[in-house]
């Protein structure tokens, strides 16, 4: 993705099922859990550049000793910094010999425990200071009332959830979804504790004994089921309860990804599957996907169960995960991204009039490489058919030179642009800063024939188009191609996201800008006021009855008309080369990613009622000149 978009966070959870001495004996370290957590987080670093956090709970601590530990930091180097500081703290509490004694380490060293939780943050809203990083903690002197929470989530109805907390008798001090969910789950955790206490007290048990009985009998499934009622959004949440129970819960549409692995030694949960494969060297078929609406519950005694806590709805897993966000070393994602490129090849060939000899194929940025391989596979398949047909035309005694020329025909695949990661745009005034941004990419000179070749470059997606307009197109134009064809492996992004991606303002989308320009060109700008009136009329209605009327603004135009207008918008006025923009179709997206049909940013069809509420508010904000996000 050439446009920098902040997106979904990541989680890493480990529950050690054996005593720490087991890992010391088998793997040579009582820090086995921490080392594995570090690896899982680094292997998902793509999911959080703004900050990170680590939380640990020790099982069965002695009274008076700490049992909940947390460290959070902001910044792109947060993971390494956190673990460096944890390591320093541990080293200050133990000698090299003492570190070989797992019992000593558990009793005396901080962060050496059996339940571990890591979080990687991409701050889509609210900033990225360390106190905004997960995990969040709800503290209490009762061990079974302590709650640590981290997750990859965005709620569309935070205001409703806030009001529910007020109705429950609470006095929330923030409306942020993280704090709201912490308090909502915490409320039902408190209720479960109180109910259990009353029950065992009634049956004659003493207070100290009751604490252990609550820990043994806590109904985590019931707590989550009650807490997640009325929640609208995309989420994977991980919670640790002070005495040692833990849970991971996924939204009922399966919007956000979650995978887990367990054996007799560990339970591991991550946002991305390859992290588990790498971290624990296990085969892909041993890793399970947490099903929509389900919770993975790990009891203090090590019992593991996946249970349904929220009735599932139609599965709409985020397709952007497959196109761009998740790391491409997942087997299925790699195959899907290649298929996305392959399915674009015919449209690309038609765009260049099948003139392969005078076309150079490339990609920008590196994350688009897999789609590029697929596109080239499509071109090669076309060439195979073309060569077979042309060879037959040459007859039984073909001219050798013509045959050699035909066989030699192949796509010209080149790496035309490389991002200069070291370049910093330190000049702040807009006019001169834009000139600096134009040099963020270095290009390979001498491969494109001046004013003769067409240059085809594929990108993961085109969201705002800012980097294309200010940098990529200008730098590619210096190669003097006759025409530049920009190909997006994703469809046109027309609608805001509200489930964890930083795409909330309509005016930022180049597809929305193109639609506005077409309305003006065709003298249909009156549709804006008509749709605005419809949106205002339903603004106070329940979200369950709302309709996405913004789709009516796109209805008069074909995808090709919008793509052509996008090309006009993105092409700087002083560019010499012609510019064509090609987008993936939604139909082909579903062919490539058949199990991930969450396409609301392309289609406007949201998986939850809150999505329609958000797009409605986003358009009202646009019409009223309000730049705030819509949720």
Are 434 and 329 part of one and the same domain?
yes
* 47-79 as b/e: b if 16+ CB within 10 A: bbbbbbbbbbbbbebeeeeebbbbbbbbeeebb
On whether residue 294 sits in a domain, the answer given is: yes
Whether residue 345 is found in the same domain as residue 208:
no
Is the model's pLDDT at 533 over the cut of 50? yes
Is 630 inside any structural domain? no
Asked if 592 and 617 sit in the same domain, the reply is yes
Q: How many other C-beta atoms are found inside a 10 Å radius of the C-beta of residue 148?
A: 26
DSSP string, 413-467: E---EEE-TT------SHHHHHHHHTTSEEE-TTSSPTTT-EEEEEES--SS-HH
Is 483 in contact with 107 (CB distance < 8 Å)?
Answer: no
Asked if residue 437 and residue 532 are part of one domain, the reply reads yes
- Report d(CA 125, CA 497) in Å as an integer: 13
Q: What is the CATH number of the domain that holds 276?
A: 3.60.20.10
Share of the chain above pLDDT 70, in %: 94
Question: Secondary structure of 16-37 in the HEC alphabet?
Answer: ECCCHHHHHHHHCCCCHHHHHH
4 falls within a domain = no
DSSP 108-138: HSTT-SSEEEEEEE--SSS---GGGSSPEEE
**Shared-domain flag, residues 351 and 297:** no
My answer on whether 486 and 398 are in the same domain is yes
Put residue 28 in one of left, alpha, beta given phi > 0 → left and psi -120 to 50 → alpha: left
Token couple for 393: 């035309």
pLDDT value for 178: 85
83: how many CB neighbours lie within 10 A of its CB? 21
Q: Are both 341 and 275 inside the same structural domain? A: no
Q: What pLDDT sits at residue 294?
A: 98
> Two tokens at 384?
């195979």
3-class secondary structure, 254: coil
CATH value at residue 581: 3.40.50.2020
Domain end marker among 269, 292, 315: 315
- 565 in a structural domain: yes
What is each CA distance from 411 to 349, 359, 379, in whole angstroms? Answer: 11, 8, 7
Asked whether residue 198 falls in the same domain as residue 122, the answer is yes
- Integer Cα distance of 608 and 365 in angstroms: 32
Pairing of strands 359-363, 454-459: parallel
Q: How many domains does the chain have?
A: 2
In the listed set 315, 337, 362, which residue is the last one of a domain according to the structure? 315
Q: Is residue 539 part of a domain?
A: yes
125 and 238 fall within a common domain: yes
pLDDT, tens digit, 9 for 90 and up, residues 251-310 = 999 999 999 999 999 999 999 999 999 999 999 999 999 999 999 999 999 999 999 999
Domain end among 256, 285, 315: 315
Query: Would 509 be classed as within a structural domain?
Result: yes
Please report whether residue 581 resides in a domain. Answer: yes
Q: 374 and 309: one domain?
A: no
Indicate whether 228 belongs to any domain.
Answer: yes
Does 279 lie in the same domain as 359?
Answer: no
Percent of the chain with pLDDT over 90: 81
- Per-residue tokens: 620: 């009202």
pLDDT of residue 190: 96
Record the tokens describing residue 94, joined without a space: 């133990």
Are residues 305 and 388 part of one domain?
no
Residue-range definition of the domain harbouring residue 172: 10-315
pLDDT band at 439, cuts 50/70/90? low
Neighbours of 283 (CB within 10 A): 8
501 within 8 A of 456, measured Cβ to Cβ = no
User: Angle, to 10 degrees, between the axis of helix 400-408 and the axis of helix 369-393?
Assistant: 160
342 with 375: CB under 8 angstroms? yes
- Across the strands, what pairs with 580? 485
pLDDT tens digits, 368-419 = 999 999 999 999 999 999 999 999 999 999 999 999 999 999 999 999 988 7
Q: Using alpha carbons, select from 50, 51, 84, 89 the residue that is nearest to residue 69.
A: 89
Q: pLDDT of 567-623, one tens digit each?
A: 999 999 999 999 999 999 999 999 999 999 999 999 999 999 999 999 999 999 999
The candidate with the shortest Cα–Cα distance to 56, out of 244, 266, 224, 228, is: 244
């Amino acid at each position: 993705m050439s446009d920098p978009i902040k997106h979904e966070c990541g989680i890493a959870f480990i529950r050690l099922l054996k005593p720490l001495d087991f890992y010391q004996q088998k793997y040579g370290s009582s820090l086995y859990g921490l080392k594995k957590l570090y690896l899982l987080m680094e292997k998902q670093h793509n999911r959080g550049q703004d900050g990170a956090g680590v939380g640990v709970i020790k099982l069965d601590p002695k009274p008076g000793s700490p049992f909940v530990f947390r460290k959070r930091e902001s910044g792109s180097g947060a993971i390494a910094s956190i673990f460096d500081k944890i390591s320093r703290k541990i080293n200050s509490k133990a000698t090299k010999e003492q570190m070989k004694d797992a019992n000593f380490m558990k009793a005396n060293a901080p962060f050496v425990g059996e339940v571990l939780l890591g979080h990687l943050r991409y701050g889509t809203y609210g900033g990225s200071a360390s106190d905004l990083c997960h995990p969040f903690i709800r503290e209490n002197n009762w061990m079974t009332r302590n709650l640590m929470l981290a997750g990859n989530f965005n709620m569309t109805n935070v205001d409703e959830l806030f009001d529910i907390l007020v109705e429950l008798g609470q006095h929330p001090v923030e409306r942020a979804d993280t704090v709201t969910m912490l308090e909502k789950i915490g409320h039902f955790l408190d209720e479960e504790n109180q109910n259990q206490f009353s029950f065992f007290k009634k049956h004659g048990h003493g207070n100290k004994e009751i604490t252990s009985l609550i820990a043994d009998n806590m109904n985590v499934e019931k707590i989550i089921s009650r807490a997640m009622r009325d929640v609208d959004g995309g989420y994977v949440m991980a919670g640790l309860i002070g005495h040692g129970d833990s849970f991971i819960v996924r939204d009922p549409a399966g919007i956000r990804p979650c995978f887990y692995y367990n054996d007799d030694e560990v339970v591991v949960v991550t946002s991305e599957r390859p992290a588990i494969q790498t971290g624990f060297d296990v085969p892909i078929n041993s890793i399970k996907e947490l099903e929509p609406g389900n919770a993975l519950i790990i009891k203090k005694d090590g019992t593991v169960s996946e249970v349904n806590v929220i009735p599932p709805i139609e599965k709409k897993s985020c397709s952007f995960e497959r196109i761009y966000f998740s790391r491409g070393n997942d087997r299925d994602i790699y195959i899907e991204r290649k298929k996305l490129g392959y399915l674009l090849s015919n449209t690309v060939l038609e765009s260049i009039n099948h003139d392969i000899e005078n076309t150079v194929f490339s990609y920008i940025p590196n994350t688009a490489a897999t789609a590029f391989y697929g596109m080239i596979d499509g071109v090669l398949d076309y060439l195979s058919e073309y060569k077979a047909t042309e060879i037959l035309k040459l007859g039984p005694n073909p001219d050798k030179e013509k045959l050699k020329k035909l066989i030699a025909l192949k796509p010209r695949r080149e790496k035309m642009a490389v991002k200069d990661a070291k370049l910093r745009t330190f000049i702040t005034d807009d006019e001169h800063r834009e000139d600096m941004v134009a040099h963020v990419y270095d290009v390979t000179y001498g491969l494109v024939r001046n004013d003769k070749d067409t240059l085809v470059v594929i990108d993961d997606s085109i969201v705002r188009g800012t980097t294309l307009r200010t940098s990529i197109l200008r730098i590619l134009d210096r190669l003097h191609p006759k025409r530049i064809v920009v190909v997006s492996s994703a469809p046109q992004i027309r609608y805001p996201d509200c489930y964890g991606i930083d795409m909330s303002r309509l005016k930022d989308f180049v597809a929305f800008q193109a639609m506005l320009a077409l309305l003006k060109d065709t003298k249909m700008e009156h549709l804006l006021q008509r749709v605005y009136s419809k949106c205002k009329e339903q603004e106070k209605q329940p979200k369950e009855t709302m309709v996405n009327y913004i789709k009516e603004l796109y209805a008069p135009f074909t995808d090709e008309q919008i793509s052509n207008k996008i090309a006009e918008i993105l092409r700087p006025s002083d560019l010499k080369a012609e510019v064509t923009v090609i987008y993936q179709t939604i139909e082909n997206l579903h062919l490539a990613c058949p199990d991930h049909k969450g396409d609301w940013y392309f289609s406007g069809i949201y998986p939850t009622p809150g999505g329609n509420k958000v797009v409605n508010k986003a358009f009202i904000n646009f019409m009223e000149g309000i730049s705030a996000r819509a949720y």
